[in-house]
Amino acid sequence: MELNKQSYKKISKPTIIVTSLGRTGTKFFQAFFKSQLPQSCSLHEPDVFNYFQYSKGQERINQVWAQLKESGFTNLFVRKLLGQWSLINISDDRVCGEVDFPSAVKKLYQQRYSFVNDRTGSPYIESNAGYYGLLDTLDHVYEQYRVVYIIRDGRDWIQSKINWGQMYGKSALQKVFAHTWPTAYECGEVSLSQWESMPKFEKLCWAWVRLNEFALNSVGNNPNIRVVKFEDIFISDQRYDNLQELLEFLISIDNPGMLSSIDGWLEKRIHGSWGKFPKWEDWTSGQKAGFIDVCGPLMNRLNYPY
C-alpha cells in the first residue's frame, strides 16, 4: 500500500484515543468518558479478551458479557485467532521491526474502519494500550482524532506491573487468549537464554524504556496528540485543573454539549493493583542501581527526579 496514493476513505467519526503501556488509568478514562459523554461510545480494550482481569463470580460474568456485546464473538474469537483483531500485536511487531509503516497503517485501518463506524454514538472513544506503537500512523486512518499518551514514573509503573502480575508473568492459558508483550529477545537485543534468565524486575525496566521511547519518538509535533504524566492527572495538587484541561483538549474534536461535573472522579480507584512489591524507598540498593542504569536517561528526559 502506497501512502501517497491512499485509495480508501479515512474514518470520519470523531475519535478520542487514550493509550499507554498500561497501569496508567485507561480503565478509569473509559468509565469517566462514558459518564461525561453519555452520547458517545466509550470502550476499554475491545480487542483484548479481559476474562482474566476481573474478579471471579458475577463481576467477571458481567464484564465478559458486556465485552461480547461490544466487540462481537466473531472479532474476539475468530478474527483474533486469525491475527486480525489485535492492535497491540501490530504495535509489538512494529517495535520488533516485523511490520513496516505502510503495513501498520493498513492493518489499523482494516481492524477499526468498520468497527468504529458501526458503533452507535459520537465521538468514538477507545482506551487501549494497543495504540502505543501506532501513534505516527493515525493521520492516515482517522480524519478527526485526539489522543492522549499517558506515561508514569518508571518506579511506580514497575511496582504496579509486578503487583498486577501479568506482564511477563502470564500462565500458559492466559498466553493463549491474552496479550504477551515484546521481549528484548524478540527485538534482537539479547539471546533467548539471556532474556529467560533475567529477573522480572529487569525485564520491566527494559520494557518501560524501550516501549515508551518508541511511543514518544513517534509523536513528533502532531498537534492532535498530547503526552501527559500520570502523576499530573491522578496525584498532583492541581489534578482537577489538569484533568479539565485534558478533557477540553480531547473533546475539542466534537461538540459534546453540556458536561457533568468532574468533582470526585479522581477519588475513585478503578482497576488498581495490590501486592507485596515495595515502593522505591524500600527497593534494594541493587534494584535502585539497576533501575538508574537502565531507566535513568528516560527518567531525566521526562524530568522525573530520583
pLDDT tens for 237-274 read 999 999 999 999 999 988 766 678 899 999 876 655 56
**Per-residue confidence at 1, pLDDT binned at 50, 70, 90?**
very low
> What is the CA angle 52-25-262, rounded to 5?
130
**Per-residue confidence at 51, pLDDT binned at 50, 70, 90?**
low
* 10-48+86-301 topology per CATH: Rossmann fold (3.40.50)
**Per-residue confidence at 285, pLDDT binned at 50, 70, 90?**
very high
What average pLDDT does the chain have?
Answer: 88
Using CA atoms, how far residue 190 sits from 115, 213, 286, in Å, is 38, 18, 21
Looking at this protein, which amino acid is placed at residue 266? L
**What is the pLDDT, as a whole number, of residue 274?**
64
pTM over 0.95: no
**What is the pLDDT, as a whole number, of residue 80?**
74
Show the cell assigned to 176: 493463549
Nearest alpha-carbon partner for 96 in 190, 3, 170: 190
Show the cell assigned to 87: 492492535
pLDDT at 76 over 80: no
- Per-domain residue ranges for the chain? 10-48+86-301
Can you tell me the mean pLDDT for 95-111? 96
pLDDT at 174 over 60: no
